[in-house]
Amino acid sequence: MSRLVVAVDGPSGSGKSSTARGVATRLGLRYLDTGAQFRAVTAWMLDQGVDTTDADAVAARAEEPALASGTDPQAPTITVDGADVAERIRSQQVTDHVSEVASVPAVRARLLREQRAAIDAAVVEAPGIVVEGRDIGSVVVPDATLKLYLTADPAARAERRTAENGAGDVAATRASLLRRDAIDSGRATAPAVQPDGAVHLDSTPFTLEEVVDQVVDLVRAAADAPS
């Protein structure tokens, strides 16, 4: 069970974050939320007055924000220029603009370097890491010990995301999720897809604990499989 890298991909509201954190906690692994990194860059761009619809403007400043991602699955952190932005990045404003920023190749290239550095550190300093996002198994770490593609019915995703936000209209949330799915799957650079060789798990009929149990079993089986 040493040097494990678990890649968890899937759309928003599929349960990626809760599942990834649960699996990492259960197995004593580190955890990285790459979506939070893209959201943090988006928040920084908005705060700096950068037009997020202008890809050239975003690219020109992609290297400027200083990001730091804490990898403790029980208390993950995200800071920009030393400031805690964990709450800020979940705002509706950031949600409305994150796909625009995430589609810029310069942003993806910059964060790809940081994501791979975090993975390298985890397999040297710790038993391994669970990494979640939308291109982990396809781009960030295609040779992961286990590649998982987690999905859920759009209605279930909308209900979960609305509950996470504490309020909101489920129908509007569903429309927003589907709109972001279309943007992310259609972008030219690192589109969101089911990675080759990934295990597809539909979380709709299961509780979080049941999903974590299944994924832990998958990780253990993958770790024990002959290379």
> In CATH, what number is assigned to the domain containing residue 191?
3.40.50.300
Domain contains 186: yes
Q: Which domain holds residue 95?
A: 4-221
* Number of domains the chain contains: 1
Angle between helices 92-102 and 170-186 (to 10 degrees): 10
| CA pair distance 133, 34, nearest whole angstrom | 5
Q: What does the pLDDT average to over 205-220?
A: 95
Residues 2-57 have pLDDT tens digits of 589 999 999 877 889 999 999 999 999 999 999 999 999 999 999 999 999 999 99
Place 224 in a pLDDT band, splitting at 50, 70 and 90.
confident
pLDDT confidence band for 187 (50 / 70 / 90): low
Is the pLDDT at 79 greater than 80? The verdict is yes
CB 1 within 8 A of CB 194: no
- Give yes or no for a contact between 141 and 119, defined as CB atoms under 8 angstroms apart: yes
Looking at the domain assignment, is residue 226 inside a domain? no
Cβ atoms of 137 and 149 within 8 Å: the answer is yes
**Domain membership flag for residue 227:** no
- Evaluate whether residue 194 is within a structural domain: yes
Confidence grade of residue 222 (pLDDT, cut at 50, 70, 90) = very high
pLDDT at 191: 67
- Edge-to-edge, what's the strand order for the sheet holding 4-9? 30-33, 128-133, 4-9, 146-151, 199-202
Q: Which of 68, 134, 149 lies closest to 98 in space, CA to CA?
A: 134
- The pTM score is 0.86
Percent pLDDT > 70 in the chain is 91
Q: What is the pLDDT of residue 121?
A: 94
Do the domain assignments include residue 86? yes
Query: CB of 148 within 8 A of CB of 132?
Result: no
Q: DSSP alpha helices (H): ranges in the chain?
A: 16-27, 34-47, 55-60, 92-102, 105-125, 154-165, 170-186, 208-224
pLDDT for 105-156, tens place per residue?
999 999 999 999 999 999 998 899 999 999 999 999 999 999 999 998 887 7
Distance separating the N- and C-terminal Cα atoms of the chain: 13
Helices 16-27 and 208-224: angle between axes, nearest 10 degrees: 60
Residue 1, pLDDT > 50, answer: no
* Range 187-209 average pLDDT: 84
